[in-house]
Structures are given as structure tokens and as C-alpha cells.
Amino acid sequence: MESLKERILRDGRCFPGGILKVDSFINHQMDPILMKSIAVEFVRRFASEDINKVITIEASGIAPAIMVGYLLELPVVFAKKKKPSTMQNMLVTKVYSFTKDNTYDVCVSRDFLCKGDRVLFIDDFLANGNAAKGMIDLAAQAGAEIAGMGFIIEKAFQHGGDMLRSLGMRVESLAIIESLDNCEIKIR
């Protein structure tokens, strides 16, 4: 997606350790016009898939996911990183965060991720793919199917995309970062 790539090159910032900061337009301050274009592109790419729900993980996945859900007129579910005390009947999985070097629980109610669902998973970043792997586990526990996975930015050098594609998952990333070496952003 050209406009996204241009924006990353213009406003993205590199940090040591292969971190790309896009917090002026994607995951802190958000540009809703760009977010709408991102959602339009996801809808175009997944047009042939039979989907009944959009799913993401809080927090940064929610903005693109709700835009996609709005365009598709489908419900949007976000998996939670803290177990709400009022939530019963839920599915839980553990996700390891490479960036933060910790493991956290991700949960979703069985009422909102169910047998027979065909969900589209949307997130801002695909790095090592651990969050996506957690979502695959939650879907398997629910008896739901993942019709596809859409990421705004994939960091190819962390290989989460390779792992998901080798599992047979349909993965669409709107900007693929080849490298952030020497704090220079190289986009495929």
C-alpha cells in the first residue's frame, strides 16, 4: 500500500533493537484518514473470504479492526490482556512478548468467539507472530476458523510471517519492513 509506505518513510522512527515507532499516526496519535484507507485495503484483499466477524487483541489492533468491521458491517471482538473479574465462560491462552520479554494471558469470552465462526484477525504489527499464534490457539479452542490475518506492518526480519504462512495461514501485510539496520527503514 503505497500511501502507507510513504507515511512510514516520512514519519516512522527507528529505535535500536529493530523497533519501528509509528506512534504519530498508528498506535498513539492516530490518523483516521490513513486508518480508513488501511481498512479499505484490507477489505479489498479479503473480499473473496467468507467472514462473519473481525477479531483483534487490545490495544493497538482495535482501531484498524473497528474500521474493517464498520466497512464489512460485521461485529468486532477484541481479546483482552487482563482477565476481567466479571468474565465467565472464557477461553485463555498465553502469549510471549519478545519485545517486552514477558508472558501474558490473552482471553476472550466463549460468547463472542464460537464454533462455526470464520474470523478475520487484524493487528497493527506482525513481528515474531506470538500474538497471532495465541489467536490461532483461541480459535482452535472455540472451534472457530481463521479466514485470514491482516497486519498493517510486518517486520520480515522477525519471521512471524514465515511461521504463519508455513502453517497455511493467509497473511496480508500492507507494508513489509525488510530491515531497520543502522536505523534505516528499508521497505519491500
Nearer to ligand G4P, 61 or 69 (CB): 61
Nearest distance from C-beta of residue 47 to ligand G4P, angstroms: 25
8 A C-beta contact, residue 154 and residue 172: no
Q: How far is the CB of 73 from ligand G4P (least distance, A)?
A: 25
Pairing label, strands 145-155, 53-57: unpaired
The distance of closest approach from Cβ of residue 179 to ligand G4P in the complex, given in angstroms and rounded to an integer, is 12
Catalog residues that contact ligand G4P under the rule CB under 6 A: 19-22, 27, 59-61, 97-100, 124-131, 155, 160
Choose between 22 and 144: whose C-beta lies nearer to ligand G4P.
22
CB of 87 to ligand G4P, least distance (A): 19
Nearest in space to 182 (alpha carbons), one of 149, 157, 159: 157
> In this complex, which beta carbon is closest to ligand G4P, that of residue 95 or of residue 113?
95
Residue 66 cell numbers, joined: 473497528
Q: How far is CA 82 from the centre of its chain?
A: 18
Q: Which positions ≥6 away from 58 have C-beta within 8 Å?
A: 78, 79, 80, 81
26 vs 63: CA distance, rounded Å: 9
Task: Name the residue nearer to ligand G4P (CB basis): 52 or 96.
Answer: 96
